[in-house]
Amino acid sequence: MKHISEKTKNKKTTILLTGATGYIGGRLLKLLESEGHHIRCLSRHPKFLDGRVHKDTEVVRGDVLDINSIKNAMKGVQTAYYLVHSMAFTGKYEETDRKAAQNFGKAAKECGVKRIIYVGGLAYSGLPLSSHMRSRQEVGNVLRASGVDTIEFQASVVIGSGSLSFELVRALVERLPVMVTPRWVSVLAQPIAITDLMQYLILALYLNSVGNKIFEVGGPDQISYRELMKEYGRQRGLRRIMISVPFLTPRLSSWWLKLVTPMQARVGRSLIDSIKNPSVVKSLLARDYFDVQPIGVSQGIASALRYEDQEVMETHWNEALSSGNIRMSWGGVHFRNRVVDSQSIYTESPPGVVFKRIEQIGGATGYYYGNWLWILRGFLDSMLGGVGLRRGRRNPKSLRVGDVVDFWRVLNIEPGFRLQLQAEMRLPGRAWLEFEVTESGNGSSIRQTATFDPVGLMGLAYWYILYPVHALIFRGMLKGIVSNKGH
C-alpha cells in the first residue's frame, strides 16, 4: 500500500489511548500492546484498568475536561487516539463533548503530537442530524481545527459483542417475540464488524503524512435495522414478528427501550435520534488508503457471538463483579446476554486433592449432591431426544479436552486449576459449568460458576423458574466436593 510506510511500521512510538475502559478502546488496547508500541492510557479511574493492561503499559489519571492532566499524559506522545464521548452525561453533552475536544486538541498541539485518530459517526451531510450525531461530527471538526493532523473514521452500526447498537438489536430480538416497530427500523445502515474497524484504527498509525482525512468505513452490506434484527434472530434460532407503526416518536421509543432492554432512556433516545437517518458509505476514499476487506453482516454477527463465548469463558468472576459490563439481579449476574451464578467455598484440603475430586465428577462418582435430581434430569433429557446420562465417562479418574461426562463435554482443563464443561443436554439456550481451584491460606478456595446463554423468552423463563433448584444443587455440589461425598 503506497500510503502505508513500512519504515513507520517498524518504528515503535509512544501512543496515548483514551477510552481504554470503553468498548472500542478496550479492544484497541490489546491490539496496540501486541504491536509492541509504548502505550499510555488516560483514565479518570485508573483502578478500572487493573489487571487489564500489559505490565509495560502506563496508566495515568486524567480527564479530558482537565487540560493540565491531558498535557501531563501527552508528554513524548506521537499519536493520540480520541475515543471518548459524553452521551450518557446528565447535562448538555454537546457542550461537554465540545469542551473536551477543544482541550484535547489544544494539549496535543502544545505537546507536539503528530496525529490524532478519532472514531465519529456516519451520516448524510445536508440532512437534519440528531444532537448526538451533530456532536460527533463537531468533535471531528474541533480536532482538525487544533492544527494537529487528524484521521477521522466515520462508522455506521458497529457489529460486535458490547457495541451499543449491537446490544440494542440483541436485547430487542431476544426479549420480544412480537415487536411493534417505528419507522426507523426501515432506515438503511452499512454495518461494520468491530474486527474490521480495529484494522482501520491500527493501520492509521502507519499512514504517511496525509494531513487531515475523513474516511467513511462500512462493510459490504447496506441493510435496514429490520433486516439486521432478522439476521440476528436467524443465527440465534429465533423467529420474530415485526409490526410497523408510524407514531412512535424518539422519546416514546427511548422509554419503550428502557422497558425491554438494559439501556438507559437518555442513551436510548440519543441512539434512536441518531439512526433515524440513513448511514451508508458514499466516499470510497478508505479503499484507496487501506488494504482492508470488510466482512458482511452475517459473518460479523457470527464473529461477535463467537468472540462473546471466548470472552465469557475467559472472565474470572471473582475479579469481574465490579465491571461496568456486568449488572446484578436476582438469579445471578448478567454479563452481555449471559446469566451467571458464581459462588465459592473454602476447604482445608490442598488444591491438588480438591481438583482430583472435581475431575472425577459425573459417571459412577455422581455429582456430590442430589444425584437423584441429576438422574431425573438425564431421564427427561432422554425423553426429549437428548443424550441423557447414558454416555458416562471415558475414564473414571482423569479428563482431557473433548471428553464426554454424561451430558457434558470438557471444553477446557488446566490440571490442578480449572475445569470447564459445556452442556449437551436439551436446553432453550446454552450452558457451561466451571470449577476453579486456587490456594488460599492453609487450604484451597473453590469457585464454581454456572453460565447460561438463554435463547429468547423461553430461555429466560427456564433459567428463572429453575433457579431455586439450580441454586440448591450447585451449593450442595460445592459442599459435597469439600466433604468428598460422592453418591
| Residue 306 one-letter amino acid | R
- Tell me the whole-structure pTM to 2 decimals: 0.74
pLDDT of residue 184: 72
String of DSSP letters for 34-85: HHT-EEEEEES-GGGGTTTS-TT-EEEE--TT-HHHHHHHTTT-SEEEE---
Tell how far CA 284 is from the center of its chain: 29
Q: What are phi and psi of 333, to 5 degrees?
A: -100, 140
Enumerate domains of the chain plus CATH numbers: 6-310 (3.40.50.720), 317-483 (3.30.530.20)
d(CA 408, CA 433): 9
Residue pair 337/238 in contact by the 8 Å Cβ criterion: no
Residue with cell 452499512: 190
Element (H, E) at 274: helix 265-275
pLDDT of residue 445: 92
pLDDT tens across the length of the chain (487 residues) = 557 666 566 667 899 999 988 888 988 999 999 888 899 999 988 888 877 888 889 999 999 999 999 999 999 999 999 998 765 554 577 888 999 999 999 999 999 999 999 999 888 766 677 777 888 889 999 999 999 999 999 998 899 887 877 877 887 788 778 877 777 788 889 999 999 999 999 999 999 888 999 999 999 999 998 899 899 999 998 888 888 776 655 555 555 665 555 554 445 555 666 667 788 999 999 999 999 999 999 999 999 888 877 765 555 444 433 344 444 455 666 666 778 888 889 999 999 999 999 999 999 999 999 999 999 998 898 888 888 888 889 899 999 999 999 999 998 898 989 999 999 999 998 899 999 999 888 899 999 989 898 888 888 889 889 888 888 999 999 999 998 755 4
Residue pair 346/443 in contact by the 8 Å Cβ criterion: yes
Element (H, E) at 254: helix 250-260
pLDDT of residue 267: 53
Q: Is 181 helix (H, G, I), strand (E, B) or coil?
A: strand
Residue pair 120/139 in contact by the 8 Å Cβ criterion: yes
d(CA 400, CA 414): 9
pLDDT of residue 292: 94
pLDDT of residue 479: 92
Q: CA of 386: how far to CAs of 48, 322, 423, 455, in Å?
A: 43, 37, 11, 18
d(CA 283, CA 448): 51
